[in-house]
Amino acid sequence: MCTYQYEVMSGALPHQGPLMFSLCVFSPPGFHCPVCSKFMASDEIEKHLLMCFSKTRLTYNKDILSRDSGECAICLDELEQGDTIARLPCLCIYHKGCIDAWFEVNRSCPEHPSD
């Protein structure tokens, strides 16, 4: 598929008027899923959306971290004592705010996406 975009450059050359040119941009036909952000071919989007919308979101236990525990794999900041965390069923832990933002566009653990 070729999309044409036209640009006008004014005063490109002092003795001439505006120049016009076209640019052919090739983009594969398809869509980004509004749930998981994956790119899907046009003929697969309906099946994929049905699967994505029927998948349940993971739940988590909210807790206060009792000791430092490495880094959050989402924001890469340290998980420090006193931080509000979310512990997923796979036992991965993240800052609560990080996993809440992650779950707005994804429905699985960032480190275990196939679970």
Residue 31 has pLDDT above 50, yes or no: yes
Q: What is the mean pLDDT of residues 73-98?
A: 94
What's the pLDDT score for residue 52? 73
Set out the domains of the chain in order of their start, with CATH numbers: 2-54 (no CATH), 61-103 (3.30.40.10)
- Top pLDDT among 56 and 82 is at 82
How would residue 97 be classed by pLDDT, with cut points 50, 70 and 90? very high
How would residue 57 be classed by pLDDT, with cut points 50, 70 and 90? low
DSSP letter at 103? H
What predicted TM-score, i.e. pTM, was given to this entire model?
A: 0.54
Q: How many CA atoms lie within 13 A of 42 on its CB side?
A: 5
User: CB burial class (10 A; 0-12, 13-18, 19+) of residue 85?
Assistant: buried
